[in-house]
Structure 1
C-alpha cells in the first residue's frame, strides 16, 4: 500500500463507501459478465432482480407516478424503495452514482405518507416523485465532489441548491446524485473516483457528459426524472445517447443558484439547469411544477416568466394543423463536421414527417458555427484552466482529457475578457439577425419557429453559445445495414476526417439516435409542444416506455 498514491486510496475508499450504502439484499450475486458477453444492461438483465410490483412502479413515467401517489393508490414509501432498489442495481451494472442517501429518502417518503393519511391530499404537485440529481447539485448533508478526488475531503453541504429547495417544497423525494466527468466538464463521464459510466444500451459505448450518470440511470429505469446542467450539450448529449428526452432551458428560466461549478464567476456563457426524462410529457410536467414555485423570487438571475400553458397549447394546435402552418429550419451540417449516417437519417426522418404534415422546412444557413466553437472555447479558458487544475492539485490526481489540458496556462487579462465578450455578443446579434431575416423566405411572414439539428457531432453545438434553448428527442437506432457513409465520401477537414474514421457501424448497431429541436430564448413551451407532437407522430410510446 505504501507505493500506491494517496489519491488512489481515497478513490478506492469512496467507491467502497458508496457500495456499502447499498443494502445486502440489493447486491448483485455476481458482477455482470464483460460487455463482450453481455453488452446490454437493460430489459431482463436488470428486471430479473426486481419484483413485479417494483417493475410496474419503476417503468411508470413521472406523471403516472404522481397520479398514483396523489390519489393514494401508491404509497410514497413503496415508490421510493422501488426506485432506490433499481438505482442500486443500475450503479452495480454501469457505475452511475456518486452519492446514495436511500435512508433519508425513505424517511422522507414516510413523512409524505403520514401527511396524506392525515390531510387526505398530496403534499405538493410532485407528491412522492423520486428525482435524481447530477452530482454538481448541492444537497444538505451530502457531499459534492464534481469528480474531483480532492473535493472528497470537503464536509457535507450545509446548504442546498435552489432547485433542490423547490423540489422538496413540491413534494419530490431525492435519493441519489449521479456521476459526472472529472470537473463536470467533458463529453465522456469518466473520473478517477468511480471510473467510467457505461451506456446501458451497449456497455462498449459511453453515456456522454457531463450529466452522464443521469442519462444512464434514466435509461435503466433507476429514475423517472432527473436534473442535470448544460453549457455545451451536457444535458442534451446524455439524453440523446441514452434514448431519453432532455431540455436545455434558456439562460435564466430555471434557478441555477447554489450549484457547484468548475468555472465559478464565468458568466459570459452561463450554465443552466434542466430536466431529463423517459417521456416527453415529463419535461413539460417538471418545468410547469418548478416554475409554479416562482423561482425568480429566490434566484436574482431567473426571469419572471411563469409557465404559459396557452403558449404550449397554441404550439401544439399549430403542429397538429388546426392553425397556420409552422416553419422549421434544418441544419444538415454545421460546416465543422458532417453528421454521421444514422444522425443524417434521423434528421431526414423528422424533416419528412413535418413536411408530410404540411409544415414548411428550409435549409438553415446561419453565421459560422466554427466561429461559435472558437468563442465558446476562448471564454471557457479565460482562467487558463486554473480552477480545474487547482482542484486536481488538492489530491495530486492526474487530469483526464478536457479542454483544460494537462496543466494550467496563464489566465487572460481583463481587456482580453472584454474583447471575448464583445465577440460573443456580436455573434449572438448576428445569429438573431439571421433568424429574424427568415421571415422573408418562410412563406408564413414569420421567422422560423424552431430548428431541427443534430444534438452532437464533433465540437459542442451552437445553441449553447447563442443562449437559445433546445430539447432532445429519440428518433431511431443505428442500423448497420443502412447507416453507411457513401462511397467516396470526402471529409470536410481534419476534424471531420477523424469523425469519419472513428465511425464503427458494427459496434454502434442498435444504439439510440436522436435529434435536437432548438427554439428562441424563453420559448420552452413552444419547443416542448413541438417535441411532444413530433415524438407522438414518430411513435413515442414505442420508444420511451420500453426499458
Structure 2
C-alpha cells in the first residue's frame, strides 16, 4: 500500500482508468472551452450506429426488446459499458468499473433466455448503475474516501471486503438487471456538488462549466450523458433531486421506508432523525415507475426492517390517471397545485422563475387550479433539519478523513470546524420540535381543501430544487429548497422543464438581495455561463404518495412538452 494519501488516490484513479479498454479511450480530450456540451452528437461520434440506438433507448423499451429476444443482454451491456467509459473520461463520474463481470452476467441471462424462451424477470438485461454507497460482490466501496480504499467502510479484517452485498443489489440481480459500474459521490455525501480526492470533480455533461450536482452526482452525470438508462441514488437533503434537476432527468425522492436501504454504506449512520432514502433517476418517468414497481415486487419489507409492507398501489395511480383522462366522459375533475415562487429566504434566479411560469401556465391552460403555497415558515423547518447533520460534531466524517490524512475539500470543510456534540436531551428536543412542525404543515395542507375551487386538498406543490439551474463549482450555497422535503418526509419527483436561454433569462439588475446568502446566490448566476443548461422543478406530494406523484409528474412532463 502506498505511503501517502496522494499516492493511494492516484493509484485508485489510475486503476479506474485501466479498467477501461484501450479501444474505448478518448485520445484528445476537449477542454471546456473547446466543448461545453458533450452530450448528443459529440459522444455519439465515438459509438457505432447500433450502440447509439441502444444507449438512447429508455429502460422500458430496452426490457421490451430483451424480454422478446430482439436484443441480446450482452450487446446491451457492451453498449452501455462503452458509453459509460466515454462518460467517465469526459466527466469524472465513475468510482468503480466492473464491465467484465457485467458482460459475464449478461451472457448468463442470454443463455437462460435461449434455454427457457423467457426472461428471468421484469428487468431482464437492463443495465443499472449504482451510486457508490451500494456494496457489490467483488467490487470496492470507497464512497470517495481515500482511507476506505482496500477496506470495508474503513475497517480491515471484517471478512466483508468485496463479499457483502446490499439488499437492493440482491433484488436487482434477481429481477434480471445487469450491474456494471458505481458512480461518484462527494466525500461525506453532504454536498450538492460531487468532488473527492480520488477522482476530482464531476462535471455536468450538458454544460461543463457547471456541477453535475450531488451527492448522487455521478449518477446524474452518467445518466445525463446516456451512459446509463437508469440508476439509483440516495437523498438526505436533496441528493437525488439535485443531480436529477441539474442533468435534465426525472428523479424520485420517496418517503422513508418505501424502498430498501439495508446493507448500504452511509455517512453518520445511526442518525435517525432525518433518514437518507434511496430512489431512481432516469431520462423518462416510465423508467422510474418500472424500477420502483420491480423493487417492490421483491417484498423488500421481508429483508429490510425499516421498509413498510406496502406493495405498489395501482389504485393510487389510477386515481390520478382517471381524473386526467380526457376520453373518459365521467372525467372532468381537475387537480389543484400549490406553487412556491420563493421561500422568502433565497430568491430563485431568472431561469427557475421562468420554468415556474411555464408549468403554471401549462396547467392552467388545461383547467387545473394553481394557488399560492403559503405554509408555515420553511425557515423554522430548515433550522431544525440542519441541526441533524451536526449531532455528532462531524465525528464520523472526521474519522473517515483521519484514516488517510487527506483534507476535506472546500465544499464540506465546515464539518471540520464543528466541536460540540449534541446531548441526548438536545437531540430529543430537535425530534420533538420537528414532530410539531410536521403536524403544523400537515394541518395547513388539510386546510387547502377549503381554499380550493376543486374542493380537493392541493395534490402537489410546484417548487424549485435549487435557486439556479445548476451550481457553478464551489458556489452551492443554499439547500433550503430541497431539505424542507426531507425534514417533513414528503414524496418529491423532479420534472425537466426547459433550458436556459441567455437572451431571455437575463439578470434582473434592479434586484435587491435580502441578505448576504441571497446575494451570493444571485451573483453566481451569469446568462453566458448558464446558456443551454437544463432547468427543472420538483413536484412535492404528501408522505408515502409515490404512485400518485409519479402519475402527476408524468402528466406535468407531457403538458410542458418533455
Cα shift at 1:217:
0.3
> Contact 2:493–2:553 at 8 Å: present in 1 too?
yes
Whole-angstrom CA distance in 2 between matches of 1:33 and 1:127: 36
Query: Quick one: structure 1 residues 5 and 494, their matched pair in 2 at CA, closer, same or farther if it must change by over 3 Å?
Result: farther
Structure 2 match to 1:107:
104
Cα shift at 1:280:
1.1
Cα shift at 1:142:
1.1
Is 1:316 matched up with 2:321?
yes
Q: TM-score, normalising length from structure 1?
A: 0.96
> Contact 2:461–2:539 at 8 Å: present in 1 too?
yes
> Contact 1:254–1:295 at 8 Å: present in 2 too?
yes
Cα shift at 1:455:
1.1
SS in 2 for 1:176: strand
Whole-angstrom CA distance in 1 between matches of 2:265 and 2:209: 30
Structure 1 match to 2:553:
531
Is 1:393 matched up with 2:402?
yes
> Contact 2:507–2:526 at 8 Å: present in 1 too?
no
Structure 2 match to 1:27:
25
Structure 2 match to 1:241:
246
Decide which of 74, 77, 96 is 1:77's aligned counterpart. Answer: 74
Is 1:47 matched up with 2:52?
no
Decide which of 491, 497, 513 is 1:491's aligned counterpart. Answer: 513
SS in 1 for 2:337: strand
SS in 1 for 2:383: helix
Is 1:118 matched up with 2:115?
yes
Listed as ranges, the matches of 1:367-382 within 5 Å are 367-382=376-391
Cα shift at 1:43:
1.7
Q: TM-score, normalising length from structure 2?
A: 0.93
RMSD: 1.3
In the alignment, structure 2 segments of 5+ residues that lack a partner are 153-160, 468-477
Is 1:459 matched up with 2:492?
no
Runs ≥4 residues deviating over 3 A: none
Is 1:297 matched up with 2:302?
yes
Whole-angstrom CA distance in 2 between matches of 1:23 and 1:11: 21
Cα shift at 1:467:
0.3
> Contact 1:478–1:513 at 8 Å: present in 2 too?
yes
Whole-angstrom CA distance in 2 between matches of 1:39 and 1:19: 22
Structure 1 match to 2:444:
434
Whole-angstrom CA distance in 2 between matches of 1:180 and 1:465: 22
Cα shift at 1:408:
4.3
Listed as ranges, the matches of 1:15-414 within 5 Å are 15-30=13-28, 32-155=29-152, 156-321=161-326, 322-400=331-409, 401-402=411-412, 404-414=414-424
> Contact 2:507–2:527 at 8 Å: present in 1 too?
no
Q: Which has the higher mean CA deviation after the structures are superposed, 474-483 or 453-462?
A: 453-462
Structure 2 match to 1:509:
531
SS in 2 for 1:406: helix
> Contact 1:150–1:391 at 8 Å: present in 2 too?
yes
Cα shift at 1:539:
1.8
Whole-angstrom CA distance in 2 between matches of 1:214 and 1:17: 20
Query: Quick one: structure 1 residues 367 and 157, their matched pair in 2 at CA, closer, same or farther if it must change by over 3 Å?
Result: farther
SS in 1 for 2:387: helix
Cα shift at 1:506:
0.7
Cα shift at 1:289:
0.9
> Contact 1:319–1:530 at 8 Å: present in 2 too?
no
Whole-angstrom CA distance in 1 between matches of 2:503 and 2:261: 44
SS in 1 for 2:188: helix
Query: Quick one: structure 1 residues 290 and 315, their matched pair in 2 at CA, closer, same or farther if it must change by over 3 Å?
Result: same
Cα shift at 1:281:
1.0
Cα shift at 1:403:
6.8
Structure 1 match to 2:158:
none
Q: Which has the higher mean CA deviation after the structures are superposed, 309-318 or 463-472?
A: 309-318
Cα shift at 1:310:
2.8
Decide which of 464, 471, 475 is 2:493's aligned counterpart. Answer: 471
Whole-angstrom CA distance in 1 between matches of 2:141 and 2:183: 10
Whole-angstrom CA distance in 1 between matches of 2:434 and 2:163: 36
Cα shift at 1:143:
1.0
> Contact 2:39–2:206 at 8 Å: present in 1 too?
yes
Cα shift at 1:5:
7.5
Query: Quick one: structure 1 residues 254 and 15, their matched pair in 2 at CA, closer, same or farther if it must change by over 3 Å?
Result: same
SS in 2 for 1:275: strand
Whole-angstrom CA distance in 2 between matches of 1:402 and 1:136: 18
Cα shift at 1:313:
2.5
SS in 1 for 2:193: coil
Q: May I ask how many residue pairs the two structures share in their alignment?
A: 536
SS in 1 for 2:208: strand
> Contact 1:233–1:456 at 8 Å: present in 2 too?
no
> Contact 1:385–1:404 at 8 Å: present in 2 too?
no
SS in 1 for 2:304: coil
Whole-angstrom CA distance in 1 between matches of 2:440 and 2:206: 40
Q: Which has the higher mean CA deviation after the structures are superposed, 435-444 or 391-400?
A: 435-444
> Contact 1:381–1:404 at 8 Å: present in 2 too?
no
Query: Quick one: structure 1 residues 403 and 426, their matched pair in 2 at CA, closer, same or farther if it must change by over 3 Å?
Result: farther
Whole-angstrom CA distance in 2 between matches of 1:129 and 1:405: 39
> Contact 1:471–1:527 at 8 Å: present in 2 too?
yes
Cα shift at 1:252:
0.7
> Contact 1:162–1:258 at 8 Å: present in 2 too?
yes
